[in-house]
Amino acid sequence: MDTMNFNSWSLEKKIKPTDLVFTQALKTELQRDLFNRVSEQMAEHNPSFSEGLQFLEQITDLILMGYNDELFTEQPSWTRWKEKIHELRFPLTKSRDEKLKIKFESLPWPAGSKIKFERRGDRAGVEVKLYISNEADLTKILASLERVQKAFN
């Protein structure tokens, strides 16, 4: 796999200067250099257009907030690096999500159900998978979900 640099990534994803307007907030040479180094490292992971821009916007915010070495990754995982940057940029959201995840996981979900905490945009919640093979299963699950509803409040 060829390593991609930022210019190649920008051309491939059809990034326009207006897409990077947020970088105009970087005023010092040090800030711009840091942005360039992180963007080069990001391009090696070849994220999608929207993932890349979101990441670069968060990086710009973090640079302006005074972060520097924390922006780089030693792990090769794009997913983990993205999560780390998001956690640095939105520490209160991370904290609230952890508390909410614990609350959701402690609810009395129906036996055999699979729950998965996740964030979708600006909303956090839980995905629930249930298996129903007959009417009796459905009746039990509905009763169990009513217990979940009561415990939720």
Nearest to 85 by CA among 55, 65, 52: 55
pLDDT tens-digit series, residues 30-41? 999 999 999 999
Same domain, 48 and 85: yes
- Asked if 26 and 99 sit in the same domain, the reply is no
Q: Which two tokens stand for residue 131?
A: 């298996």
Domain-ending residue, one of 36, 63, 89: 89
SS3 call for 126: strand
Tell whether 82 and 98 lie within a shared domain: no
What tens digit of pLDDT does each residue of 40-99 get? 999 999 999 999 999 999 999 999 999 887 787 676 689 889 988 988 898 888 888 889
Gyration radius of the chain over CA positions: 21
Residue 110 lies in a domain: yes
Residue 20 and residue 83 share a domain: yes
Position 104 pLDDT exceeds 50: yes
- With the CA atoms of 53, 34, 61 and 91 taken in that order, what torsion angle do they form, in degrees rounded to the nearest 10? 100
> Does residue 1 sit within a domain?
no
Please tell me what DSSP assigns to residue 106.
T
Q: Which domain holds residue 121?
A: 93-152
Considering the entire predicted model, what is its pTM?
0.69
Let me know whether 79 and 101 are in one domain.
Answer: no
Are 69 and 44 found together in one domain?
yes
Residue 115 in any domain: the answer is yes
Which amino acid, 78? W
Total number of domains constituting the chain:
2
Answer yes or no: do 15 and 78 share one domain.
yes
